[in-house]
């Protein structure tokens, strides 16, 4: 049997630094009673903290936390550790960063089959990593996705507030009343701060904050893309160039032909890398409406996964008001993308809600409605205003959807 004492000691040390006052939006939405629960999301979103918070809330008894990239776990193996833990009466095994362990999916599936009535919680840096593990596991596990910190969460965290999330329908219909409740907090000032340094739960000084973001990005490139997809050695360099291109482009689109020529790669290789970066949460693509798979080839808008990456990679450029268009759209995509959006022929984005298409135009405080003249259900999202009117809504309110 495996000696579990070192793992319990590590768990105890981690508990001493776990924040308990603030919990991510998904904490209350997840059904923690599921026997096989997977939590996926981009690196740095707070998966580890959330798992440890749940253990603390339950009183620690019957729980064991291990990390897939810990050398001791790599030596002993997930199955052997879980087998010993469950035989000794343990109830819930928590495997963080499970996909870092070779054969992790088979180990977790075998434990799940061998110990009915026991629970296994695991995390991974992307839904793709989990689904790629084994079809049997992906069919049995309940997967919950943890996104980057929303503007609502950032505001609650910074100001000690407890504003609830709102639905897209409620936001569109009651945006004036929602805005009024926020006036005392000077939301525009907070929104600027959020765009620059508010997407991740680890809030430190600017220098160390951006350094941690870049370290997180590096791990995503090497561990969640290159290693997971078994790409060639030179892939990391090319992938970094693609990220740099997106990070410095004031037009959120890619010309496959010119970029392939510049990088010296084929279109197939480019699309493979873009797919991998999107699965890892580094990039987000919004396809043209009604184009299906063909839209992946042209006409898509391409953004970094969240706005803080733009500042971490190209700070001076994005401090210019003239370049804020990309930042504003990247914010909208990061907060609304999970609802399913596309790029329409007229307007910036379209969302289908209850079989009704809603078109959005994103811009600064003077943004007009001209591009929505052909839309019967269109809204202008203006940055730089605190309260809207009619179909003009403050952009920051779209950070309240989760």
Question: Which tens digits make up the pLDDT trace of 177-217?
Answer: 999 999 999 999 999 999 999 999 987 556 689 999 999 99
Mind listing the domains of the chain with CATH numbers? 5-145 (3.40.50.300), 152-400 (no CATH)
Q: Tell how strand 36-40 and strand 349-353 pair up.
A: unpaired
Would you place residue 368 in the very low, low, confident or very high pLDDT band (cuts 50, 70, 90)? confident
Distance from first CA to last CA of the chain, Å, rounded? Answer: 44
Mind listing the pLDDT tens digit for each residue in 71-85? 999 999 999 999 999
Percent of the chain with pLDDT over 70: 95
Would you place residue 229 in the very low, low, confident or very high pLDDT band (cuts 50, 70, 90)? confident
Residue 294: the pLDDT is 55
Strand order in the sheet with 392-394: 341-342, 349-353, 356-363, 378-382, 392-394
pTM for the full predicted model: 0.91
Residue 116: the pLDDT is 95
Please say if the pLDDT value at position 295 is more than 60: no
CA separation for the pair 343, 232 (Å, rounded): 33
Please say if the pLDDT value at position 327 is more than 90: yes
Of the candidates 154, 73, 144, 141, the residue with the CA atom closest to the CA atom of residue 109: 141
CA separation for the pair 307, 318 (Å, rounded): 10
Residue 376: the pLDDT is 76
Beta carbons within 10 angstroms of residue 1's beta carbon: 10
Would you place residue 369 in the very low, low, confident or very high pLDDT band (cuts 50, 70, 90)? confident
Residue 206: the pLDDT is 60
Residue 322: the pLDDT is 78
80 burial class (0-12, 13-18, 19+ CB within 10 angstroms)? middle
Provide the mean pLDDT of the chain. 91
Residue 223: the pLDDT is 87
CA separation for the pair 301, 161 (Å, rounded): 34
Please say if the pLDDT value at position 337 is more than 80: yes
Mean pLDDT of 47-53: 96
């Amino acid at each position: 049997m495996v000696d579990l004492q070192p793992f319990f000691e590590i768990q105890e040390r981690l508990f001493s630094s776990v924040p308990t006052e603030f919990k991510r939006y998904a904490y209350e939405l997840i059904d923690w009673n599921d026997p096989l629960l997977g939590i996926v999301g981009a690196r740095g979103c707070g998966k580890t903290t959330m798992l440890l918070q749940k253990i603390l809330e339950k009183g620690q008894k019957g729980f064991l936390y291990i990390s897939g990239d810990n050398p001791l776990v790599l030596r002993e193996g997930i199955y052997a550790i879980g087998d010993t833990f469950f035989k000794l009466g343990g109830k819930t095994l928590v495997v963080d960063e499970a996909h870092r362990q070779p054969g992790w999916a088979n180990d977790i599936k075998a434990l799940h089959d061998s110990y009915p009535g026991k629970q296994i919680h695991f995390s991974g840096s992307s839904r793709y990593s989990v689904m790629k593990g084994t079809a049997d596991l992906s069919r049995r596990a309940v997967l919950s996705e943890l996104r980057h910190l929303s503007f609502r969460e950032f505001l609650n965290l910074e100001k000690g507030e407890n504003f609830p999330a709102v639905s897209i329908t409620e936001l569109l219909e009651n945006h004036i009343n929602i805005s009024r409740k926020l006036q005392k907090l000077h939301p525009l000032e907070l929104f600027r701060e959020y765009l620059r340094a508010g997407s991740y739960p680890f809030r430190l000084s600017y220098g160390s904050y951006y350094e941690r973001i870049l370290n997180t990005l590096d791990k995503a490139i090497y561990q969640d893309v290159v290693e997971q997809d078994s790409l060639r050695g030179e892939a990391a360099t090319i992938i970094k160039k693609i990220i740099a291109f997106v990070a410095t482009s004031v037009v959120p689109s890619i010309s496959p032909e010119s970029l392939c020529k510049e990088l010296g790669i084929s279109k197939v290789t480019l699309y493979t890398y873009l797919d991998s970066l999107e699965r890892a949460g580094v990039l987000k693509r919004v396809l043209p409406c009604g184009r299906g798979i063909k839209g992946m080839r042209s006409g898509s808008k391409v953004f970094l996964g969240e706005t803080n990456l733009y500042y971490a990679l190209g700070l001076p450029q994005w401090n210019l008001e003239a370049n804020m268009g990309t930042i504003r759209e990247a914010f909208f995509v990061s907060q609304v993308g999970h609802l399913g959006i596309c790029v329409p022929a007229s307007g910036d984005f379209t969302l289908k809600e209850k079989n009704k298409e809603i078109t959005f135009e994103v811009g600064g405080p003077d943004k007009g409605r001209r591009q929505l003249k052909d839309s019967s259900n269109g809204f202008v999202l203006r940055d730089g205003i605190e309260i809207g009117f009619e179909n003009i809504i403050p952009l920051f309110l779209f950070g309240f959807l989760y």
